[in-house]
Amino acid sequence: LSIKPEASEKEVLMKSFMIVLACFSILATPSTVPADEAEDENAIRKAYEKFIDAFNKHDAKAIAQLQDQSFEYWEGSAKGREGAEKAYADRFAGQEGLKGKLVDEIGIVFITSNVALYKVRVEISGRGAELPPVKYLVGNVYVKRDGQWLRAAYFDTVSEN
């Protein structure tokens, strides 16, 4: 929006008024999450709760069913549901006390209406009597397939706190 030097005082005032009105409209717009997005956020949280529950039961088959067919661990070590099942079965082997818990939620970012990034901090304990619990920052990529949110990928890194 430009104001030409030959613009009349009335035109300048009208354009200025429109700019102020547009800015006010943007600032006055409620920042609430739309109802369908809130429902999807809750569905993603529930899917992750099911994952934590299956993890704590060492149920690699249940974990695999919570993954999308396209699932891949970020560095490529586990691909597909079968790869996820094998990776978790291997992880649970010999670690009967291994448990995970959600420490806090960092947020959910919708990339599209059917793809979301769920960022959390988790704590893993029971890796052995001599090893303290470890906290991880985890990014979970979820996809919505036939109304169900499934994990398509995840990446993690050790967190300092």
Q: What is the mean pLDDT of residues 59-66?
A: 97
pLDDT for res 160: 78
pLDDT for res 120: 97
Residue 136 has pLDDT above 90, yes or no: yes
Q: What is the mean pLDDT of residues 51-71?
A: 97
Q: What is the rounded CA–CA span in Å between residue 95 and residue 99?
A: 9
Q: Which residue is it, tokens 């102020």?
A: 20
* DSSP result, 50-98: HHHHHHHTT-HHHHHHTEEEEEEETTSS-BHHHHHHHHHHHHHTT-TT-
Of the candidates 48, 62, 23, which has an alpha carbon nearest to the alpha carbon of residue 138?
48
Q: What is the mean pLDDT of residues 80-88?
A: 94
Per-residue confidence band for 15, with pLDDT thresholds at 50, 70 and 90: very low
Tell me which of 51 and 76 has the higher pLDDT: 51
Of the candidates 59, 159, 153, which has an alpha carbon nearest to the alpha carbon of residue 99?
59
Tell me which of 9 and 29 has the higher pLDDT: 9
| CB-based contact 136:156 (threshold 8 Å) | yes
Per-residue confidence band for 5, with pLDDT thresholds at 50, 70 and 90: very low
Q: By three-state DSSP, how is residue 41 classified?
A: helix
Among 2-6, 39-43, 50-54, 68-72, the minimum mean pLDDT is found in 2-6
Q: Which residue is it, tokens 């919505």?
A: 144
